[in-house]
Amino acid sequence: MAHNPLAKHLEFTQRKSLIATSLIVVVSLFVVVVNFSQMPDFGQTFSNHWMFSKQSYKAFKPHLGYVSIPKQEPLKLNCELCSIVSSSGQMLGQAAGAQIDRSPCIWRMNNAPTRGFENDVGRRTTLRVVSHTSVPLLLQKPQHFFGQGNDTLYVVWGPLRNMRKDGKGIVYNMLRQASENYPHARIYATTEDRMNYCDMVFKKETGKD
């Protein structure tokens, strides 16, 4: 059967939109966290010693655009320096793992693997920004992602129809069940206001709804 060119084009367009929206969510969260971060005094030279030395953390401050499941408590996170690790295959062969692991905070996307790729992408993960479409992929390996030995923060974003809390949000229901099965898991969802902001930025940057 011949492939439908229109269907392939729509699939490619949807994939690009998903990647772009994921990056907007990452950047918006990154900006919020950095606004609360401890930065060096004006005039202080940025050096590898400062960037990767262990600094004393300020008290965690709440980020109201992200709330825990199911308690609806705001995300508390403070990062002096973040390494945002791409899921791209371009990471392979870069041997950046050791440098990434020296960062105070390490952010990854969706279910991007680290096991078997530690030399290139590092071992540690502080936070994962997860698309609503990638939640089923995490749930295929729930013990790996949500088990007691994993202290990663998960920030999940998605449209209201999937993330609504009235029992009709299919992805939210999955996450709520995961939090019940793994009470030590730290799972957060973007609020409706935060998603509206991300949608606004996406439309402004791309001209698409």
Average pLDDT, stretch 149-168? 94
Beta-carbon contacts of 22 under 8 Å, excluding residues fewer than 6 positions away, are 109, 110, 129, 131, 157
For residue 3, pLDDT over 60 is answered with no
Residue 79 is predicted with a pLDDT of: 83
Residue 26 is predicted with a pLDDT of: 60
Interval 20-49: pLDDT, tens = 556 555 655 554 444 433 333 322 322 343
d(C-alpha 21, C-alpha 28), whole Å: 10
d(C-alpha 94, C-alpha 52), whole Å: 19
Parse the chain into domains and list their residue ranges: 13-37+60-206
Q: How confident is the model at residue 64 (pLDDT cuts 50, 70, 90)?
A: confident
Q: How confident is the model at residue 8 (pLDDT cuts 50, 70, 90)?
A: very low
Q: How confident is the model at residue 84 (pLDDT cuts 50, 70, 90)?
A: very high
Residue 105 is predicted with a pLDDT of: 94
pTM of the model: 0.74
For 118, the token pair is: 């530690």
The mean predicted confidence, pLDDT, of the chain is 80
> Is the CB of residue 103 less than 8 Å from the CB of residue 52?
yes
Average pLDDT, stretch 80-90? 88
Angle of CA points 182, 30, 176, to nearest 5°: 20
Residue 37 is predicted with a pLDDT of: 38
> Is the CB of residue 83 less than 8 Å from the CB of residue 107?
yes
Residue 19 is predicted with a pLDDT of: 57
Interval 177-189: pLDDT, tens = 999 999 999 999 9
Q: Give the number of other CB atoms < 10 A from CB of residue 169.
A: 20
d(C-alpha 128, C-alpha 130), whole Å: 6
Burial of 82-113, coded b for 16+ CB within 10 Å and e otherwise, reads: bbbbeeeeebeeeeebeebbbbbbbbbbbbbe
For residue 55, pLDDT over 80 is answered with no
Q: Which residue has the tokens 């062969």?
A: 93
β strands within 45-149, DSSP E: 62-68, 74-76, 82-84, 105-109, 127-131
